[in-house]
Amino acid sequence: GAGVSQSPRYKVAKRGQDVALRCDPISGHVSLFWYQQALGQGPEFLTYFQNEAQLDKSGLPSDRFFAERPEGSVSTLKIQRTQQEDSAVYLCASSLVWTQYFGPGTRLLVL
Amino acid sequence: AQTVTQSQPEMSVQEAETVTLSCTYDTSESDYYLFWYKQPPSRQMILVIRQEAYKQQNATENRFSVNFQKAAKSFSLKISDSQLGDAAMYFCAYRSPQGGSEKLVFGKGTKLTVNP
């Protein structure tokens, strides 16, 4: 079956621009997670959904970051007024029970 | 809050040899899950092995095995008969038990080089 997919794979944005990153989880997976991975670091948790409910958004670094999963499947991470420190790889993962399966990530570069 | 520490930023091993990657964690929870993920340069994070804390038996997956020492809060990964394809970043991760936060807490990673 298909794994977790993310689009776009690469995004270059000018500082101040808004961006939207998409995640398609594995079909049937209830939980969906977003992580931010800076260069040379481990992933850091941003937010997670169980179906369409956002149960934990404690890792979102500012109110410029917003995530949604309106129908309990596809999720979008939106970053408003991007800043250079937002440059990172954004990873999406989904799970059915307790193991998370990751997508390939979206590499965001803010100039 | 839980923390995960990987004290070896880089490790190297000769092809066909065995290497052990270290991981320690800090938690006050008695039940939890531990994982090792591999991230090759393509950046797709791949699950290597997982361990439930209530299980005393160490998990094994082919050439990969763990040494889980609950009292010491240690969870090391042993790779036997290393292959060139094992070269990657390896991340140790912690997850709280069911009913708690489902997020993964990662260490900073260990870069493994496999020499032919």
Confirm or reject contact between A85 and chain B (CB < 8 A).
no
Question: Which residue of B43, B92, B96 to mutate against A (max A Cβ within 10 Å)?
Answer: B43
Residue A41 Cα, gap to closest chain B Cα (Å):
5
Contact flag A99-B47 (C-beta cutoff 8 Å): yes
Contact flag A42-B107 (C-beta cutoff 8 Å): yes
The chain B residues in contact with chain A (CB within 8 A) are 4, 33, 35, 37, 42-47, 50, 91, 93, 95, 98, 101-109
For B34-88, the pLDDT digits (tens) are: 999 999 987 789 999 999 999 889 999 999 999 999 999 999 999 999 999 999 9
Mean pLDDT, residues A74-90: 97
CB A106 within 8 A of CB A90: yes
Mean pLDDT, residues A3-14: 96
Confirm or reject contact between A25 and chain B (CB < 8 A).
no
Tokens of A73: 């499947």
Mean pLDDT, residues A29-41: 94
Query: pLDDT confidence of B1, banded at 50, 70, 90?
Result: confident
Residue A17 phi, psi dihedral angles, 5° rounding: -80, 155
| pLDDT value at residue A45 | 96
In the predicted structure, residue A21 carries a pLDDT above the cut 60: yes
| pLDDT value at residue A60 | 96
Tokens of B116: 């032919």
Q: What share of chain B is helix, strand, coil (3-state, %, to 5)?
A: 5, 50, 45
Query: pLDDT confidence of B100, banded at 50, 70, 90?
Result: low
| pLDDT value at residue A1 | 56
